[in-house]
Copies of this chain bind each other. A is one copy, B any other.
């Protein structure tokens, strides 16, 4: 395939959206405001509604009306074999000398209709998300945070290596990259050591990020019918970056005994293009070794069950230059997404197409690879020095966070996620 991945269409070498990728998203344009499906390619995207209306997909035998929907749910529901054949077909459409190159290459009028500069399209949430679950499978993060709260000897709870710890999140608060995030107000305990413990009402003072991957599902299961681990990968449509913004002070006061709530539901940002599971296949690798003997329902045949994705986070304080504050990697997970799904459904929990699973914060083992500011600043005790003499412990109003994730090399074509960004607005005055 590598040789056919040279395209007749200009794709910058540094683009996350090489022919080896072709991620799916939902776009609209000023001339046509109805959201519809597209794939990203280089600095452009291919409007799939327009392209399919030319009859381009007729040889594939799929229902091309899925590309006219305002979410990717119906396309996702066609299943991974269909995603695979559509992506392969599109690779052949764009490949230099590919078997379907003539479809578009020789038709300038079709190109003009279908190939839109990406900076001229508006991006929408790619899926209708019925339910969102956030896991905690980044062992280094769980350990780092556990150390801050309970010391290294008790950092991880006894259940941690036996199952992917997770909790239900708030689907309505998932927003697309570029959506501003309003700093939450809430109850915080200014002095946790004082007695009695009396909270004050305040804007969050310890506003943080969490660097995660998100997986969208493409297959449902009925209530009472678990998804076996051997079939779980077939349920995963593709991946996005996920910034699980977190209000640490609100969280510390509210989270016992039922878990994080308002500390998490004021907004979670995802990158707009869904990178198909197939596009990440070449980048499979092993995750964090788990020495615990897992119960059979979590035992995965595939040892390379996570992905080698270079993850980076930049901060841009308003009016200042950008600083890269961390570098991590998607492989820093103790459990894979198939394991998360097998666990999630072992109770019989029904999952739907479009449901989103978050990985948990992906921290690497070494300094500079921590996936949250809580970790980098050691619980707010140390200052993070940024370019231009700016300092941070947590986020300030006007700060913009941008996450990136990319696999592969420019030689064979990058497979990346684009940007996952958000800017902090001040808390409402109440």
Interface residues of A (CB under 8 A from B): 130-131, 136, 157-159, 162-163, 165-173, 175, 182, 184-187, 196-201, 223-226, 228, 247, 250, 253-263, 265-267, 295-297, 343-344, 346-352, 355, 425, 428, 430
Contact = CB atoms under 8 A, between A and B. Distances in A.
A281 B387 CA distance: 60
Contacts of A297: 201, 430
Contact of A163 (B187, B196, B347): B187
B266 A159 contact: no
A227 to B, nearest CB: 11
A1 to B, nearest CB: 38
Contacts of A253: 159
* Most chain B beta carbons < 10 A, residue from A254, A257, A346: A257
A81 B411 CA distance: 64
B262 A349 contact: yes
Contacts of A343: 262
Given A201-B295, A262-B344, A256 B171 contact: no
23 contacts: A130-B172, A157-B256, A158-B197, A159-B187, A159-B199, A159-B256, A162-B198, A165-B254, A168-B169, A168-B170, A172-B351, A172-B352, A182-B348, A185-B226, A185-B348, A201-B295, A201-B296, A224-B266, A257-B259, A258-B260, A259-B259, A262-B346, A262-B349
Secondary structure type dominating chain A contacts: loop
Given A224-B425, A347-B186, A159 B254 contact: yes
Contacts of A197: 158-159
A159 B170 CA distance: 22
